[in-house]
Structures are given as structure tokens and as C-alpha cells.
Structure 1
Amino acid sequence: MKKSIRLVAAIAALAMTAGISACGSSTNGNQAKSDVTAQDVENALTDTSKNVELTVWAYSAKQMEPTVKAFEKKYPHIKINFVNTGAAEDHFTKFQNVVQAQKDIPDVVQMSANKFQQFAVSGALLNFANDSIEKAWSKLYTKTAWAQVHYAGGLYGAPQDATPLANYVRKDILDEHNLQVPESWEDIYNEGIKLHKEDSNKYMGILGSDISFFTNLYRSVGARLWKVNSVDDVELTMNSGKAKEFTEFLQKCLKDGVLEGGTVFTDEFNRSINDGRYATFINENWMGNTYKEQNPSLKGKMVVAAPPSWKGQPYQSSSVGSMMSVSAACPKEKQAAALAFINWLDSDKDAIQSWQDTNNGNFFMAASVYQDDENQRNKKETDGYYANDDVNAVYFDSMDKVNTDWEYLPFMSQVEVVFNDVIVPEMNENGDLVGAMAKAQQKLKAYAEDNGFKVTTDAD
């Protein structure tokens, strides 16, 4: 089997059945390259003589639908067939299904900034990179978010929301034990020792068995786990340098009762949060509203703080978020309208206002008109849920500090499989996270090389 076909087969298999290629697509990152210019995109909005119908798939459909309707009202010559595909996990599986079947593929599809790479490599998404679009669009989004929708020299979407990290702190628990809100990982360790000693049912935090949660922590301390050199050339650095040092620290926290390994985002986890098992929880900013919805009894007991720093260095945040992409199957005559739609939806001033009106002002957008708005940055909490009213300022400051020296592998679904099989079982006081990371790296190297990637590791 040729290297390019093997690679595409591997990528296509990530969400579905192993060994099925994406209909012969090549792997140079340009297999579905558009020649649409920024002027073509503008013309698609202003030329009302051309009627276009676009099928759009989204998992954030509830939050997005009013804004989609606002677009149709403003540009009635572009009709949107809007499809709610359900939960994100189901959404990506459904999209992979239709891509493999080469039937009923939508023109526009919502993606995630840490999942689109496998679809880009397999040829399922349109690469619309060119100088005119780069120049016109790059200023419409934050630098970090704009960088995240690029991959291996290609451009595959318009950034939608952003998800900087914050530390959600049960200040009532800390006050009860005469502890301070931690500013560093050293604080988390030292105060966690005291907390767990005084109450063995309490931990400073949880080390969650969720791949995004796990990688966010490494990104926030500037510990690279891998590097993507090109579409089929990767480096794995999971068990050396700062990454190994941080892994050793996490294992120490587990061993000494500072952190507890466990599942997150489940009913059991939510009950533990409500019961005060964890004094802090480092997670993306959407968690702020989740607390309000799921844990109303914690009103007034929590503060939102910056993520902890590492080894005396300022913290570096993490951010993923959603994006809107155009599928490679979108007919050429509809591509300009599709690109016009995704860019308007995610960057236009009226669209951003619609997002906020629909979502009670709580959708943290990647668009410059939102991120540069001092009124948004300085907006105060008024419902009294959090003890500090400057929660938005914490999110904006965190967004300003996102670690940009980071990218995701083009086979993150396989990374998740290995993570669950090899690393998660070692997330306990008697575990060996360092050994697990080394084993996981070996498995990922073997997988990648088996499927046509050039791979170097810190052990080479």
C-alpha cells in the first residue's frame, strides 16, 4: 500500500472502521484546495442574483440557530438547511460516516480546534488558504484562535468560540482550613498536603481521565507532548524535559493525596463537586456557567481565579473551542457563499451580538469585535454566584496568555484510545504515570509509523 493511501486510511479509521480510505485523497494538505478569494466571498453576500442553498451541520445548534436565522434574514438569497446533529461525539461520527460513504455530505460542518486535523488530512475539509483571505480574515479573530484553524500550511475554518482556562475554587473550603487561593502549582501541592491531612475525604483537585483536560494541563505549564513538522512528520516528546518533570509532579500529587484521579463531567463527579470533595478545579471557561446550572447550592462559595503558574514562570493558558469549516464535497460554485456564511457567523458584529443575546451574554467568542470590547472584558457578575464579580476579566486575561507553542496531532482519536488504555489506569496514588507516558509514546510511535508517518521521539 502506498504511503499516502495508508496515511489516509489511518486517519479515516480514527472515528470509524479501520482501513477505509477517504476515496483516494492524497495527503499533501492541499487535496481539496479552493481558489476562492476574499473578493469572491464578499461578492457572494452582495450579489443577490445568485440563489444558493447550503446544508450546515452543527452540534452547538441550540446556541447557533438564532444567529443562523439572522444571517438568512440579512442575506435571503443564501438559504441555510440547518441540521442539529446532536452531541459533539455523535456529530463527528456522523460526519465521518457520510464522508466515507461519499453521500449526503453537508456543505458546512462545525468542527473542534483539536479534532479537525484528522478530517483535514483525510481530505474531508476544504483548504481555503490564500493570501487575500489570510489578509482579510486574520484581523477579524484573535491571533491564537486564527492560528488554531490552520494546519500543515492549510486553512480549514473560521474560529468560533474560545475556551481559556480558569481555576474554579471553593473558597469556603479553603477558608475553613485557613488556606489561600493557590497561585502556583507549588501552592496547590503545599496547601493540598494540609487539606488532605486535616480531612482525608478532601483533595485540592482532581486529575481527570479526559484527554482534553489532561493535555490542557501540560499546555498550561508549557510542557510540549509532541510537535507536528508537516502533515506526515511528527515528533513525540511525552517523556522528556518539562513534560516528564510535570508528569513526575502529578504522580507526586496523587501519591501524597493532593490530587485524586477520577472521571470528570459525570453525575458522580458533579456530586463530588457539590459535596466539596475538591477545593479547586482547573478547566475551560465554559465550566463557569455549568457550575451555575448544575450546582446552585454553591452560590457565594466560589471564586474564579487564574490557572496556577509553574516553576516561577507565568501561567500559560490553553484554548480550543469550536470552528466552522467547509467540507471538501461542497460544490465549487457554492464555496464562496459557504465561506461567506462561516465568516459572517463567527466574526460579524451583528452576529456576535446575536450570539450574546441568545446565550445570555455568556458565549466567549474568538472574534476580535468581542475580544477587543472593553465592555465585555470589564463586565461584572451581577447574580452573586461567584464571590468575585470580575470573572470575565479572569477569562480575558487567561485568553491573553494562551500558549501558542502547541498543536494537535493528526490522529488525536488514536491518542485518546492510548490515553484511556495506558495512562488513565495509572492515575492513582500507587500508579506510575512516568512509565505510562513512556509506554503510551511507544504505542503511538508504532501506530504512526505503521500508517505512513515519519516519527521521531525523545528516545531516538
Structure 2
Amino acid sequence: MNHRTVAVGAAVALAALTATACGSSESSDEDGGPVELTYWGWAPGLEQAAALWNETHPDIQVTVKEQAGGDELVTRTITAAEAGEAPDLMQAEYQALPTLVSNDVLADISGQVSDSEGDFSAGLWQQVTLGTDAVYALPQDSGPMMLFYRQDLFEEYELDVPTTWEEFADTARRVRDVAPEAYLTTFSANDAGLFAGLAQQAGAQWWTTEDTTWRVAIDDEATQRVADFWGGLVAEGAIDNKPMYTPAWNRALNTGEQIAWVSAVWAPSVLASSAADTAGQWAAAPLPQWEEGANVTGSWGGSTTAVTNDSEHPEEAAEFATWLNTDPEALAVLIEHGIYPAATAAQTGDALTEPPAFLSNQPDFYEQAATVAQGTAPAAWGPNVNVAYSTFNDAFGQAARDRSDFGEAVTEMQQATVADLRDHGFEVAE
């Protein structure tokens, strides 16, 4: 059987198989020694957290093996699973979960972790359940989106921090009037995660399932609204059209040629390296809203801890995953190494009382981030996120350079994603 053709919609059958495996677990290895678990991941602090666990859990020992992150780790794990050699646990980004489930890599751990649902926001929990009763991972860290801006230049140019997207557009035009050499921000077409998060905030859910059929809705009203908004600002020259993470982008942030960045809670660490000369001059605010007074944000980034079907000790693996992502001491270790925790309680805990050094002028940064995170919109991912993202890079990259219609680029993403699903044997209803 080709694992690529197993739809996530068949979660009931998968859950039955994994429940059988979970039922055979024992609390120690067959030779009477401790249970040995292997965890593949890349986040800083995982080894230190595992060491803390190992000190207090002599019967269950966890070894962290650092791997390449993101898509490369997904590929390595799928390859290992095909040989029956996947690790007990793995770190996986939220958007990678449907791909891993459709390749029969991840175990349903709902029987072990369902009591943890209340520890996380509804939007994040939805991403690890894929809209089913199964639970395929526990949220580890999150990336609620926020608006970062040069506080000093906003004051100099007499700008108010926009609270709605209409105000954001007006502010962009105002910047061009008072400082023609500067832009409020840029639309970047080299990281689809940013656009996906903006679409989520507007209400988009790009992939959903019904039984074994996928429905792709990238070309929906919400996404087109976001595309029209940003495409319009680029077309009129109100914002720049240059990509992020380039020397030119770094220079623009450093010199005040770009005075704001729509990003996520992890932005201060990027700004600290990209705009080092401006430390203490930035501040963060909630993402502008489509409806005045709302508190809705999208996600950009974040990952989970999942248990694989190859684990001989799924109950112990799920126990560790729960501890890692909900225990205050474990979370304190991860926070110390720069992880913004998914667990709601940890977002206002003692470990986040001090702001990032780069935002030393904003002592309530994490307090504000926690409030923003409460409004995280649900995201819906599919088994070929890579295809949609690759098409985004090409189609939106061209549209941004040409200052042409972003709506056509959205339609191109939709068509490429649907075609790829069908090419791989998935049932698709548009």
C-alpha cells in the first residue's frame, strides 16, 4: 500500500490501530531495565529539558538526537518509518502534521493526552487534532502574530499605531508623505508562512477533510481579501515589495527605511541580528484587525511533540511529551533557550517576566503577547503544504516584483495544490 494515498480523513481506522499498539505498552523494558526513548528534534533546550526529566524518571530515559529542522526532519522521519525505524518522538511543525499522518508515521495519543486540551488555546489544539477526535501531537511552541514598529520613528513622524487594517493602509500612505525615503513595511514573497498566518486571521482554512475527501479552499473569500489588501498597497507604492531576510532588508530595518514589520512573537531575536543598531527603539502591538475591537491573530511558526507508530513504548513517550509541554520546570528550561511556549499558563509565568533584551523598553511585551495569543485563529493544514508554499514563492514573487494582481497568484496556488493532491491519489472536492 502506498502510504502517500492514506488520507487523514481515515483517522478512525488509524486511531484503532494505534490504540492496539498503546495497549501493549509496559512501564519498563523487557529486560527489566529502564524504558529507552529517542526524540528527534532541533529546538534549543530540548537536551537540557530531557536531562531534567531523566533525573526524576529513572524508569523512562529520553535521549535527544538533534536533527535538521522543518521539512528535512519530516523527510528523514518518513524515510525511517518506511523501514520501521522512526524515533519514539519527534518535533514537527504544525503544518507538517497532515503529511506525517497521511504517511502513517504518527500515533493517535488521545487516550494519553486528552486531559491536556485545556492547557492550550483552542486554535492550537485544533491543529494537533486535524479536526478529528484523534490527537497526533502536543503543542510545544507557538508563533502568534504581532505588529513590530519603530517606536522612536512613529513618535517623530507623529504616527498612531494602527489597530485596524484600514488604519494600517492609511499609516503606510502617511509614511510615504512625511518620509519619502521610507516605507512602513514591505510585502515579502519568500516566506509563505507569513501570508498563511494573515489569511488565517481573516478566517481562511485552506485544507479541510470530510471522511476521506480533501477540500482545498486557498482561493476563498478570506484569502482573496488579504491578497487584494496587500497587492493594492504594493501596486500604489504605499509599501515596498522587497523580500525579507536579505542584506537590503537588514539595512532597511537598521536605517529606518522600513519602520514596521508584521511578524510573530519570535521577531525580537530576528531583529536583534538584522537590525542590531536599533535595539531599544522597537515596540510590539497586536496585529491590526479586520473588525475594530476584535482580538484575532494568525500563527507564523511553532512546532509540536509527536509520538510515532514505531515506538514500542507509546504510553511512556506520550507521558514525556505531556510533561515537556505542560510542566512548569520543563517549560522554564525551554523558555530560557528562547522558546515561546504553547501552554497558556506558561505564557504569563515567572519565566517570561522580563522582555527580550532587544525590546528592553517594553516591559509588558510577554504580557501583551499572551493576550494576543488567546485570539489565535484555527489553522487547517493539508498533506501537501510544501506544494502550496512553493507555488506561493513563485507566483507571489512574480506578482510582487511586477506590482501586479495578487488575486491571480492565489488562484495559481489553489490550482497547483489541488492538482498535486489528485496526482498523488487523494480524493479532492473544491
Same fold (TM over 0.5): yes
Q: Does 1:337 align with 2:316?
A: yes
Displacement of 1:81 after TM fit? Answer: 2.6
Counting matched residue pairs gives: 424
Once the two structures are superposed, what CA deviation does each residue of 1:217-273 show, in whole Å capped at 9, x if it has no partner?
Answer: 111233x15240236423333334232222211111101222223322344432322
Q: 1:234 and 1:158 mapped to 2: Cα distance?
A: 24
> Gaps (5+ residues) in structure 2?
none
1:23-422 superposed matches below 5 A = 28-29=10-11, 30-31=13-14, 33-35=17-19, 44=27, 51-60=34-43, 62-100=44-82, 102=83, 104-130=85-111, 133-134=113-114, 136-153=115-132, 154-209=134-189, 210-222=191-203, 224-230=204-210, 232-312=212-292, 314-319=294-299, 320-331=301-312, 334-356=313-335, 358-359=336-337, 362-371=338-347, 373=349, 375=350, 379-381=353-355, 383=357, 385-404=359-378, 406-422=379-395
Contact 1:66 1:354 in 2 (8 A): yes
Give the partner amino acid of 1:138.
Answer: E
Residue 453 of structure 1 is matched in structure 2 by 426
Q: How does 1:421-440 map to 2 (within 5 A)?
A: 421-428=394-401, 430-440=403-413
Measured on the aligned residues, the alpha-carbon RMSD in Å equals 3.0
Q: Secondary structure at the match of 2:64?
A: strand
- Write the deviation string for residues 129-155 of structure 1: whole angstroms up to 9, x where unpaired: 23x642x22234333332221125221
Residues 204 and 40 from structure 1, CA distance in 2 versus in 1: closer, same or farther, beyond 3 angstroms?
farther
Cα deviation, 1:91-139, whole Å, max 9, x if unaligned, reads 2332233234x15421111111111210111101112223x642x2223
Give 1:67's aligned amino acid.
A
Structure 1 runs not aligned, ≥5 long: 12-24
Q: Distance in 2 between matches of 1:403 and 1:259?
A: 26
Describe the shift of the 1:51–1:300 C-alpha distance in structure 2 as closer, same or farther (beyond 3 A): closer
Percent of residue pairs bearing the same amino acid type: 18
In structure 2, distance between residues paired with 1:456 and 1:399? 32
Aligned partners of 2:78 and 2:103 also within 8 Å: no
Residue 281 of structure 1: how far off its partner (Å): 0.7
User: What's the CA shift for 1:365?
Assistant: 1.2
Partner Cα distance (1:143, 1:125) in 2: 21
Distance 1:305 1:454, change over 3 A: same
Displacement after TM superposition at 1:197 (Å): 3.5
Q: CA shift at 1:372, angstroms?
A: 5.9
CA contact (8 A) 2:185 2:260 kept: yes
Q: Which amino acid aligns with 1:113?
A: Y
Distance between the aligned counterparts of 2:194 and 2:116, measured in 1?
30
Cα distance between partner residues in 2 of 1:286 and 1:221: 21
Letter in 2 for 1:110: Q
The alpha-carbon distance between structure 1 residues 88 and 240, as it changes in their structure 2 partners (threshold 3 A), is closer
* Structure 1 residues 259 and 36, CA gap change in structure 2 (3 angstroms): farther
Q: Deviations over 1:361-387 (max 9, x none)?
A: x532122441464x567x353857343
1:419/1:73 CA distance change after superposition, 3 Å: same
Residue by residue over 1:42-75, the C-alpha shift from the partner in whole angstroms, topping out at 9 and shown as x without a partner, is x849xx9652111111111x32111110011111
| SS of residue in 2 equivalent to 1:324 | strand
Contact 1:231–1:410 (CA<8 Å) still a contact in 2? Answer: no
SS of residue paired to 2:14: coil
In 2, the alpha carbon distance for the partners of 1:273 and 1:96 equals 39
Q: Which whole-Å CA distance do the structure 1 matches of 2:426 and 2:356 have between them? A: 52
In structure 2, the CA distance between the partners of 1:394 and 1:368, relative to structure 1 (3 Å rule), is closer
Structure 1 residue matching 2:72: 3-state secondary structure: helix
Contact 1:256 1:429 in 2 (8 A): no
Q: Shift of the alpha carbon at 1:391?
A: 0.7
Cα shift at 1:399: 0.5
CA offset at residue 290 of structure 1? 2.7
Q: Secondary structure at the match of 1:321?
A: strand
- Provide the C-alpha distance between the structure 2 equivalents of 1:385 and 1:27, rounded to a whole number of angstroms: 44
Q: Partner of 1:53: helix, strand, or coil? A: strand
Q: Tell me if structure 1 keeps the 8 A contact 2:187–2:239.
A: yes
Cα-to-partner distance string for 1:341-362 (whole Å, 9 max, x where unaligned): 1111111222123323x32xx5
Cα pair 2:388 2:416 within 8 Å, conserved: no
Once residues 26 and 177 of structure 1 are traced to their aligned partners in structure 2, the CA distance between those partners, rounded to angstroms, is 51
Distance 1:50 1:230 in 2: 45
Contact in 2 for aligned 1:304/1:386 (Cα 8 Å): no
Answer yes or no: is the 8 Å Cα contact 2:8–2:101 preserved in 1. Answer: no
Q: Would the alpha carbon gap of residues 381 and 444 (structure 1) be closer, same or farther in structure 2, given more than 3 Å must change? A: closer
Distance 2:279 2:256 in 1: 13
Q: TM-score, normalised by structure 2?
A: 0.88
CA–CA separation in structure 1 for the residues paired with 2:414 and 2:219: 8
Secondary structure of 1:178's aligned partner: coil
Q: How far off is 1:285 after superposition?
A: 0.3
Give the Å deviation of 1:305.
0.8
SS at match of 1:208: coil
